[in-house]
Amino acid sequence: MYTAESYDVIVIGAGHAGCEAALAASRMGCKTLLITLNLDSIAMMPCNPSIGGTAKGHLVKEIDALGGQMGLTIDHTYIQLKLLNTAKGPAVHSSRAQADKQKYQKYMKHVLELQEGLTIKQDEVVSIDVDNGKIKGVSTRNGAYYGCSTAILTTGTYLKSKVIIGEVMYSSGPNGLASANELSMNLRELGIELRRFKTGTPSRINKRTVDFSKMVIQPGDEKIVPFSFMSEVKEIRREQIPCWLTYTTDETHDIIRSNLYRSPIYNGKIEGVGPRYCPSIEDKVTRFAEKPRHQLFMEPEGEDTEELYVQGMSSSLPEEVQIAMVRSIPGLENCEVMRTGYAIEYDAINPMQLKLSLELKDIEGLFCAGQINGTSGYEEAAAQGIVAGINASLKTKGREPMILHRSDAYIGVLIDDLVTKGTKEPYRIMTSRAEYRLILRQDNADIRLTKIGYEVGLATEERYLKYKKRKEMIEEELKRIKKVFFPPSDEVNEFLRKYESSEAKSGTNLFDLMKRTEMNYFITGQIDKDRPDLPIDVCEEVEIEAKYEGYIEKQLQQVEHFKKLEKRKIPDYVDFMNISGLRIEAKQKLSQIKPESIGQASRISGVSPADISVLLVHMEQLRRRGER
Ligand SMILES: Cc1cc2nc3c(=O)[nH]c(=O)nc-3n(C[C@H](O)[C@H](O)[C@H](O)COP(=O)(O)OP(=O)(O)OC[C@H]3O[C@@H](n4cnc5c(N)ncnc54)[C@H](O)[C@@H]3O)c2cc1C
């Protein structure tokens, strides 16, 4: 072992979490080292060739608003863009892109290589050095010891990972890459609780061997909505590549049912817990037996490859069964399977061992982010990566951590769910998890987060000024349309009749007019003579604020109440086991999770409102006795 250079921040793993963490730390001026098993798998997408989707699109926008990289990288490497759920309210509008996987990786790797203050190394971290409850450094397989002030574990699906295909099981990372087999033991010795999780992926087939005449084309949107607030539509607009829709058949279901006994999920070969919201095809056919067919999307893996990803057919059945299964699909009768689907098991930590900053409660300076924390998804990983990168950097600067609350961001919902409630299976973000989703829209992520990203030292001056300008334009326009008044007139009523909107009996202003179902910002332009020429995203923002004013008001009041409880901090030295009147279950849960506020305590399952009252009385007594 030789002693190499020391760093402020060391990031272990260059997956989606590691890339954001390393860029955040180095862009905040920290001397940063990124160590990863294989430089050619930086930002690799081992599963679906897409970024975003319902709620995941919100995360990408929030990462971008804070000054992160994922949004910019996908804007420069997408092959198809869509805005999902546009038939529903703006709270669930979510961007989704089909990515060119190879180009995405190359682009992200180059951004990392160009980053000042960031050193990248290909190696395996085999142990973490901790002294007196504080991180000291890391050791690698190549024999190096790197000292550090903080370190971030983002090892994804590689820790003691095993690939399973039917009766076949072997030690491997995703896509035939090496797994990391030494670190898990060290983490356990450090007292970190690990458990086995699993996920799975479908086959990849050769496009040349597919009969698309039996499928339904799925083109991208005409209207381009960038992921990054820094991207200009005209710079990222490009020709899009379609996906294709087909379905499973009775034959497919019969093949699966008659081979279930060979499925490692059903014969117990797999011990890891899988994601409920990303079920394998075996699960779908078994759990939704009443469904005659399941949707499958053929998703191109990139522009310069014939590989197609069979979305919706994740499986770990034996290879020959998978081939028969795939060839029972309309359009795939003669297809060539290039990569067989598989399941992968790996070690992950129990995230309830973490603070809301993603620092381990029992090892100072060691942070965890991504799949290792029990989540599933590129976006979920990147969201944790940027938070861990920011907080590791703030720690090296002796500054308070950046905590995003459930009322600030989907990132706040994600982390609070993990740390306060834990997860028994790979956790996936969903809009239903966010109680304040009407104000946590993807369109206003910059309004909610860019100032925070700027104040912690990550968001650039250029991004900050762009956000301020957009915010001012929105506020100015909202002020203006509240002053644009229309007394009842034939002209206005003729206009309203044209859109089958009821006549205006009394005077109204433009803001209120826009609330009408038949009206929107663009239609009212016909009677709004002095309308300034504003960017379309500003107009859309103004329209949402007008149409949903009442609901937004109500949600903001709920947030005020929520914030009051979040501000009631619980001092570190409170000994929950000795608070009389607390139920034993509450004492145990509070002592295990060590909530940072009354708000967080009230979200712990097994802690009742009565327990919270007892806790509040106890804290008041401490305050009176001047012990706070
Ligand atoms: C087979 C498969 C199927 C999946 N299916 C889905 C799905 O259906 N839906 C979904 O949302 N997500 C799915 N995912 C998950 C998705 O890939 C991950 O959520 C995402 O990649 C996690 O990002 P991460 O940064 O946490 O880890 P990863 O992307 O896994 O990256 C971890 C990085 O750490 C490095 N590393 C690990 N250990 C060490 C070490 N000791 N020393 C140095 N470097 C190390 C690795 O080389 C790698 O670069 C799937 C993943 C796999 C493998």
Measured between alpha carbons, how far is residue 212 from residues 269, 301, 334 in Å?
36, 16, 12
Q: Indicate the burial class of 218 (C-beta count within 10 angstroms; 0-12, 13-18, 19 or more).
A: middle
Residue 628 has pLDDT above 80, yes or no: no
Residues listed for the chain: 628
Distance 371 CA to ligand 1 centre (A): 6
339: in domain: yes
Do residues 235 and 155 share a domain? no
Average pLDDT over every residue of 515-523: 94
- Distance (Å, rounded) from C-alpha 165 to C-alpha 309? 17
Residue of 109, 146, 154, 314 best suited for mutating to test ligand 1, as the one with most atoms within 8 Å of CB: 154
| pLDDT tens string 383-415 | 999 999 999 999 999 999 999 999 999 999 999
What pLDDT is attached to residue 627?
61
Farthest-apart Cα atoms in the chain, separation = 87
Does the beta carbon of 15 lie inside 6 Å of ligand 1?
Answer: yes
What pLDDT is attached to residue 273?
85
472: in domain: no
| pLDDT tens string 415-434 | 999 999 999 999 999 999 99
Distance 62 CA to ligand 1 centre (A): 21
Can you tell me which atom of ligand 1 is nearest the CA of 278? 8
What pLDDT is attached to residue 239?
96
What pLDDT is attached to residue 585?
92
438: in domain: yes
Residue of 96, 199, 265, 349 best suited for mutating to test ligand 1, as the one with most atoms within 8 Å of CB: 199
Do residues 381 and 279 share a domain? no
Do residues 260 and 339 share a domain? yes
Do residues 419 and 502 share a domain? no
Do residues 171 and 214 share a domain? no
Do residues 574 and 543 share a domain? no
Does the beta carbon of 165 lie inside 6 Å of ligand 1?
Answer: no
The domain spanning residue 576 has which CATH number?
A: 1.10.150.570
**Do 283 and 260 contact (CB within 8 A), yes or no?**
no
Instruction: Give how many domains the chain has, as a whole number.
Output: 4
Higher pLDDT, 626 or 80: 80
Question: Which residue has the least CA distance to atom 34 on ligand 1?
Answer: 13
Do residues 16 and 148 share a domain? yes
Do residues 40 and 186 share a domain? yes
What average pLDDT is seen over the chain? Answer: 96
Residue 271 has pLDDT above 90, yes or no: no
Can you tell me which atom of ligand 1 is nearest the CA of 38? 47
Do residues 151 and 17 share a domain? yes
Does the beta carbon of 199 lie inside 6 Å of ligand 1?
Answer: yes
Average pLDDT over every residue of 97-115: 98
With a pLDDT cut of 90, the percent of the chain lying above it is 92
What pLDDT is attached to residue 452?
98
Distance 38 CA to ligand 1 centre (A): 13
Domain extent, residue 231, equals 204-345
The domain spanning residue 30 has which CATH number?
A: 3.50.50.60
Instruction: Find, among 437, 369, 374, 379, the residue nearest to 408 by Cα.
Output: 437
468: in domain: no
Average pLDDT over every residue of 166-175: 97
| Residue 623: pLDDT band with limits 50, 70, 90 | confident
What pLDDT is attached to residue 316?
97
179: left (phi over 0), alpha (psi -120 to 50) or beta: beta
The domain spanning residue 274 has which CATH number?
A: 2.40.30.260
Do residues 522 and 389 share a domain? no
| pLDDT tens string 22-43 | 999 999 999 999 999 999 999 9
Strand-pairing partners, residue 574, are none
Residue 475 has pLDDT above 80, yes or no: yes
Looking at 345, 364, 393, which one is the last position of a domain? Answer: 345
Average pLDDT over every residue of 206-229: 97
- Distance (Å, rounded) from C-alpha 370 to C-alpha 350? 12
What pLDDT is attached to residue 622?
83
Instruction: Find, among 371, 386, 79, the residue nearest to 241 by Cα.
Output: 79
582: in domain: yes
The domain spanning residue 517 has which CATH number?
A: 1.10.10.1800
Residue 108: both structure tokens together: 């992200």
What pLDDT is attached to residue 621?
86
What value, to the nearest 5°, has the Cα angle with vertex 405 and ends 33 and 460?
50
Looking at 279, 312, 345, which one is the last position of a domain? Answer: 345
Does the beta carbon of 154 lie inside 6 Å of ligand 1?
Answer: yes
| pLDDT tens string 315-354 | 999 999 999 999 999 999 999 999 999 999 999 999 999 9
Looking at 412, 431, 461, which one is the last position of a domain? Answer: 461
Distance 159 CA to ligand 1 centre (A): 10
Q: Residue 620, CB half-sphere, CA atoms under 13 Å: how many?
A: 6
Give the position of tokens 């109204």: 508
| pLDDT tens string 81-105 | 999 999 999 999 999 999 999 999 9
Question: Which residue has the least CA distance to atom 16 on ligand 1?
Answer: 377
With a pLDDT cut of 70, the percent of the chain lying above it is 100
What pLDDT is attached to residue 505?
85
Does the beta carbon of 396 lie inside 6 Å of ligand 1?
Answer: no
Do residues 421 and 533 share a domain? no
Residue 376: both structure tokens together: 């599933």
- Distance (Å, rounded) from C-alpha 32 to C-alpha 21? 10
619: in domain: yes
What pLDDT is attached to residue 128?
98
Can you tell me which atom of ligand 1 is nearest the CA of 377? 11
Residue of 376, 418, 423 best suited for mutating to test ligand 1, as the one with most atoms within 8 Å of CB: 376
264: in domain: yes
Instruction: Find, among 196, 250, 247, 244, the residue nearest to 220 by Cα.
Output: 244
Does the beta carbon of 41 lie inside 6 Å of ligand 1?
Answer: yes
475: in domain: no
Do residues 185 and 54 share a domain? yes
Average pLDDT over every residue of 474-496: 94
Measured between alpha carbons, how far is residue 54 from residues 59, 241, 296, 310 in Å?
10, 21, 18, 19
Backbone angles phi, psi at 108, to 5 degrees: -65, -40
